[in-house]
Amino acid sequence: MNAQNLQLMDTQTANLQSLQMKKQPSILQIKDLNVYAEKQHILKNISLNIPKNKITVLLGPSGCGKTTLLKSLNKLTDLYRELRVSGQIFIEEDDILKTNTNAPLIRQKMGLLSQKPFPLPVSIYKNVAYGIKLKGVKNKDLIDYNVEKKLREVGLWDEVKDRLHKSADSLSIGQQQRLCLARGLAVKPRIILADEPTSALDPVSSKIIENLFRELKKHYTIILVTHILRQAQRLADNVVFMHYGEIIEQGSPEKLFKTPKSVQLREYLVEGN
Amino acid sequence: MNERKIIEEKIFKLLTGIATYSLIAILGYIIAIIFINGFNSLSLDMITKTPSGGYYYGGEGGVLNAIVGSLYIALGATFIAIIIGVPAALFINVHLIRYKRTQNTIRYLLDALWGIPSIVYGAFGFAFMLYLGMNASLLAGIITVALLITPIIIRTFDEVLSTIPKGLHEASLAMGSTKTETAFKVLFRQGFSGFITAVLLGFGRGIGDAASVLFTAGYTDLIPKYLDEPAATLPLAIFFQLTSPIPEVRERAYAAAAILTIIILIISLSARLLSRNYSKSNIK
């Protein structure tokens, strides 16, 4: 019965995907992505289209492979030798997983926001300026202008404009997370990869980040990993539910949360609420 | 807490306290002995004059030759060790980050090199020097001491770099920095205090080591002007004078030891101040 169910699910997934392909232009296509660790099969045949200028939420219990999926997208899996990655990930016709791709260039198309903010060990100003300089900008005035612009984009400018040259360490965790976002945006990415970006933050800071995401999706595509059901409900345009390395269901939050088709999602919704 | 635990706690506190404070006391005692024994000979002449003709029989002069020689050798060797050591430590932590086994093998080998006694480096330096047809000289001393302290500098810096959170490394790469940018602009900066500690340890070992310079740098009463001239060093100055039957000369050995200690103290303190100012902006 399991095999039958799985098959059914596969066709459902395929149908959903084709529907989505027609509806929304996608920016990122993942085809048959498999990731193996030494003995584990972490991601199993992941195929997914990420719609442009939408918030796609990767939802699922801990250890279901959400973070690994996110790390595969910007080749951070390269840092772990034990991870073997196969399949294809296309961003604007370039296959990210091809061995000869220029990793820094690919990564500049995606900004990463991790669970815990990691500001660079320099001043607030230099954190953002670093990203701008990576794009080859050398003109001091242009850098100044862009630092302000990016800090305004994340709503941090008014809070830090008087202490731009203080250490980034002096900021609160929530401010640091927004600084990291500004730093990521300075590289002019197309996509923002957010890996449980509010998990270390207090409710107020979390709310600020969530509101920012709503603003930012006008210009960027956001892929948000979360295990917080309510956050997914609040933010998602498109939800991808993962369980043990597989995509179980995907679709609009209204549809998924009101009429979950799979047992796993139903259980998850019950426990999560 | 029951009574037994309270007694246990008291005894343990006492024991650990004794161990800690006796160590400090011993250190203080060593320094005191050196300064007391050398006090009468500690004069301006000691640090401003080279030995005169009768110096080793208690005549006039100082150990300026050895002070300058030691500084030349230690600075030269530290410079070479930094040039080799910093890229090596960064390479281990950036490019080899995927290859845990290779990393560990290299670390093990470096630890082994760290553990080799300096007389072995001295012997190797001596053989190498003869092979190149060089004489005992400043250059041969610098090269030998550099070999001695490079593993120390790499491993000390590496130890700090390896504690940098992987998230920072990933954050830098995720922005699209290259590995080189990540190494020099992020990891080096974040590990700067480790770099200072590494340089300090290397320099301290280099300036204080006698065995590695015994055969390679030679000894002279003159201040070397060129790299191919022999150079005196403070550890050897202490060694030669301490073996003298003349009490005044032995006293000068302690004075030279005091000077060596002061040099190391000054460098250590200034480096700590420097690193404190730099690491203010580090994330914890």
**Confidence band (pLDDT; 50, 70, 90) for A240?**
very high
How many angstroms separate the Cα of B30 from the Cα of each of A19, B250, B261? Answer: 82, 16, 11
For residues B65 and B48, the answer to whether their CB atoms sit within 8 Å is: no
Compute the nearest-CA separation of B193 from chain A (Å).
Answer: 12
Q: What is the pLDDT of residue A95?
A: 87
Compute the nearest-CA separation of A105 from chain B (Å).
Answer: 6
pLDDT above 90 (res A26): no
Spatial CA neighbour of A104 closest among B159, B132, B177: B177
What 8-state DSSP symbol labels residue B225? -
Q: What is the pLDDT of residue B58?
A: 79
For residues A214 and A228, the answer to whether their CB atoms sit within 8 Å is: no
Compute the nearest-CA separation of A8 from chain B (Å).
Answer: 37
Contacts of range B98-101, beta carbons closer than 8 Å, 24 or more positions apart = B98/A78, B98/A79, B98/A80, B98/A81, B99/A81, B100/A81
pLDDT above 70 (res B29): yes
Residue contacts between A and B (CB atoms, under 8 Å): 86
Most confident of A130-134, A197-201, B74-78, B129-133: B74-78
**Confidence band (pLDDT; 50, 70, 90) for A21?**
very low
Whether residue B175 and residue A169 make contact (CB cut-off 8 A), yes or no, is no
* CB interface of B with A, residues 181-200, below 8 Å: 181, 185-186, 189-190
pLDDT above 70 (res B122): yes
Is B170 an 8 Å CB contact of chain A?
yes
The C-alpha angle A241, A242, A245, rounded to 5 degrees, equals: 165
Tallying the residues shown for chain A, one arrives at 273
CA–CA gap between residue B233 and residue B235 (Å, rounded): 6
Out of A74, A118, A184, the one facing B167 most closely (by C-beta) is A118
More reliable by pLDDT, A9 or B247: B247
Here the tokens at position A190 are 């197309």
Mean pLDDT, residues A226-245: 90
More reliable by pLDDT, A12 or A110: A110
For residue B5, give the amino acid letter: K
Whether residue B171 and residue A107 make contact (CB cut-off 8 A), yes or no, is no
CA–CA gap between residue B78 and residue A122 (Å, rounded): 27
Spatial CA neighbour of A81 closest among B96, B111, B270: B96
How much of chain A, in percent, has pLDDT values that exceed 90?
A: 53
For residues B256 and B234, the answer to whether their CB atoms sit within 8 Å is: yes
Spatial CA neighbour of B77 closest among B18, B118, B25: B118
Angle between helices B138-161 and B100-115 (to 10 degrees): 140
How many angstroms separate the Cα of B263 from the Cα of each of A92, A136, B41, B143? Answer: 61, 45, 17, 22
Whether residue B170 and residue A76 make contact (CB cut-off 8 A), yes or no, is yes
Q: Which of B175, B177, B184 to mutate to test the interface with A (most CBs of A within 10 A)?
A: B175
Is B225 an 8 Å CB contact of chain A?
no
Here the tokens at position A135 are 């794009």
Q: What is the pLDDT of residue A273?
A: 59
Q: What is the pLDDT of residue A1?
A: 45
Here the tokens at position A20 are 């989505």
pLDDT above 90 (res B75): yes
Q: Which of A109, A120, A134 to mutate to test the interface with B (most CBs of B within 10 A)?
A: A120
For residue B106, give the amino acid letter: I
Spatial CA neighbour of A149 closest among A172, A122, A129: A129
Q: What is the pLDDT of residue A181?
A: 93
Q: What is the pLDDT of residue B283?
A: 44
pLDDT above 50 (res B284): no
Pairing of β A238-243 and β A246-251: antiparallel
Lowest average pLDDT, out of A101-105, A106-110, B13-17, B194-198, goes to A101-105
Mean pLDDT, residues A144-168: 92
Q: What is the pLDDT of residue B214?
A: 92
Phi, psi dihedrals of residue B60, rounded to the nearest 5°: -75, 165
How many helices (H) and strands (E) chain B has is answered by: 13, 0
Compute the nearest-CA separation of B167 from chain A (Å).
Answer: 7
More reliable by pLDDT, B281 or A105: A105
Q: What is the pLDDT of residue A102?
A: 84
Mean pLDDT, residues A113-138: 92
For residues A263 and A82, the answer to whether their CB atoms sit within 8 Å is: no
For residues A231 and A198, the answer to whether their CB atoms sit within 8 Å is: yes
Here the tokens at position B182 are 């990540």
DSSP assignment string, B195-214:
HHHHHHHHHHHHHH-SHHHH
pLDDT in tens, A211-232: 999 999 999 999 999 988 889 9
Mean pLDDT, residues B28-45: 91
Nearest Cα residue in chain A from B172: A120
Phi, psi dihedrals of residue B266, rounded to the nearest 5°: -60, -45
pLDDT in tens, B197-249: 899 999 999 999 999 999 999 999 999 999 999 999 999 999 999 999 998 88
pLDDT above 60 (res A259): yes
pLDDT in tens, B149-178: 999 999 999 999 999 999 999 999 999 999
Is B115 an 8 Å CB contact of chain A?
no
List CB contacts (< 8 A) between A108 and chain B: 175-176
The C-alpha angle A254, A258, A262, rounded to 5 degrees, equals: 110
For residues B232 and B65, the answer to whether their CB atoms sit within 8 Å is: yes
pLDDT above 70 (res A17): no
- Counting Cα atoms < 13 Å in the Cβ hemisphere of B7 gives 3
pLDDT above 70 (res B188): yes
pLDDT above 80 (res B63): yes
Compute the nearest-CA separation of A81 from chain B (Å).
Answer: 5
Q: Mean pLDDT of all residues in chain A? A: 87
For residue A218, give the amino acid letter: K
CA–CA gap between residue A32 and residue B65 (Å, rounded): 73
Spatial CA neighbour of A66 closest among A220, A226, A256, A273: A226
Compute the nearest-CA separation of A72 from chain B (Å).
Answer: 11
Mean pLDDT, residues A5-13: 55
List CB contacts (< 8 A) between A134 and chain B: 175-177, 181
